[in-house]
Structure 1
């Protein structure tokens, strides 16, 4: 290489990613009668994908469809306070789908009708949650164990509403029961408009690696509905690789969006042939403040508790020194938050750790005890 022609590894990766993204279809995608502007979605994450997070991510640009935290169908119809907070939305929070779960088909139908009557434009049925308290009632990934029962539930929800119905599921209960391709084939005949596949089994929880071949087999099992890949997407390169290796029509990003809130903006830049955006120090500080401000609009002082869980994910990406991250995990007032953020701005970049504190943090013990 001639003198003066040196190119950094980061720049090289960026150029390779730009070339790869040019080979993928980046046009808007249709899910039923809904046109989604981007093929990169925000996946539902229990405890995280509430209104404030969706809004602040949308403001950064590049996000297609977002889906709410999962909501218990019976509580939604009963209008419990928690369920109403989970489905809270606003004009700028579009396109949006609401994810519901239950082991009782009649409850799923009632919740779907309730949502349609109130103007929600997309309904997602959860068949992927691995948590025991969800599975023990017959909901979440447990639905995948009964193909006939799952198809009955999907058919009845589809027949009950006119808005598009989708499903998010895993590859199966365990490696011996990989039912996703068979279910996807049947769901398409039931009238489902799209399926999101997390490339792990329920038994894996969030351990191990995503099985891209398993996602590809699900893609091959359907005739025309979009299959959305999900799992272990933490960079734009991961998202593009998933699409190229599985043939999935779109990618849903969960934890990767908390680790790097600008991931959708970067994917949009790459789709336009631009070098991916990198946030400045001020961008990072403003994002931290904006997310908390939006959370306070809905939850007021309780935001001081709700926001703490984000800090372990944000610390490394937003350049928060370890001692200030620790304080943000324990702050008790809006005034204290503002004081800490001022110190973060002054000391931005002093952080030593290169791995986010909360990366892949899961409950202790086997998945059966979650």
Structure 2
């Protein structure tokens, strides 16, 4: 089982003042002003509308980004793609992340999204998966810096809403292109860049390279660089900002492991002790998430909700056998019965680690 290790702050080449105050003022990103500096990163299969809504309800979230959307399918009206961008009045601020190896379709999708009223476009240049890279999208774009700059320039010129980019450090250790691309993208008018501190070759293995993120921060003038990777706790987020100098952090799996991570960070920013939720609040969170999911997906909600149980069980104090039932339940009545039992037996859990972390493909990255 993959165990979390806190971000390493002991390296001689990483200098940090652990007590220096961080800038926690609202962050300007192009024409948008974001209320906090802690963002929900896109996670395939998880960061859909219901999850975004329930996380926002807890407070402290500055920006959320949709699951990765294929631009060509979005333009064609593909139901799955349209479902990924579904939103609601309380799902704001929001950016839509798109990808494509076909520049015409990427630009077309950006224009379509602006016409539909979306307020931010995020271009994915970081996905390591073969099915994305094989079509010329995702991290593959970082291998052609001229082409990447051309796509970004066209997108920025095509829409009036802020355009941001998410990318990795590079394709592999011999091709670290993120600093050079960041410098170019700043000149082309992007509003911000999110940097995942791994190469495409690493996939999700190893540890996020904080020095690599810092190199990107130092490569730009004023452009906001958003750090990403291996942030599982509020303390990790604060350490990343101090160690890299990034003004904001995007959190993915950490929000699944601890849905209150953003509210904890908001407490810290306001000078308050970081609070743990009460058992009642933990149980209400489960109910709220399932309710939001039911509003969007109706009879599919049970199936879609089940995969969250392995993430939530440890943090929410769900007894092991009841977590197992949450991974298999098939109806609203069964869900409510399980909730009643969790309420009566809260805290009886034996396992001290989450049942599952985000699954990543097995085998060499070349096989992805």
TM-score band w.r.t. shorter chain: over 0.9
TM-score (ref. length: structure 1): 0.93
Unaligned runs of 5+ in 2: 1-16
Q: How does 1:19-38 map to 2 (within 5 A)?
A: 20=18, 23-38=21-36
Q: How does 1:1-370 map to 2 (within 5 A)?
A: 20=18, 23-370=21-368
Q: CA RMSD in A?
A: 1.2
1:220-247 deviation digits (Å, cap 9, x = unpaired): 1111110000011111111111001101
Take 1:172 and 1:334, find their aligned partners in 2: how far apart are those partners?
Answer: 45
For the 8 Å contact 1:199–1:212, the answer to whether it is kept is yes
For the 8 Å contact 1:21–1:270, the answer to whether it is kept is no
TM-score (ref. length: structure 2): 0.94
Deviation, structure 1 residue 367: 2.3
SS in 1 for 2:195: strand
SS in 1 for 2:301: helix
Take 1:38 and 1:76, find their aligned partners in 2: how far apart are those partners?
Answer: 30
For the 8 Å contact 1:193–1:225, the answer to whether it is kept is yes
Deviation, structure 1 residue 344: 1.4
Take 2:202 and 2:327, find their aligned partners in 1: how far apart are those partners?
Answer: 29
Q: Relative to 1, partners in 2 of residues 1:21 and 1:336: Cα closer, same or farther, differing over 3 Å? A: farther
The number of residue pairs the alignment matches comes to 352
1:255-305 deviation digits (Å, cap 9, x = unpaired): 001100000000010111101111011111110111011000000010111
Take 2:209 and 2:43, find their aligned partners in 1: how far apart are those partners?
Answer: 20
1:36-62 deviation digits (Å, cap 9, x = unpaired): 000000001111110100000000000
Partner of 2:10: none
Take 2:23 and 2:190, find their aligned partners in 1: how far apart are those partners?
Answer: 22
Take 2:325 and 2:83, find their aligned partners in 1: how far apart are those partners?
Answer: 27
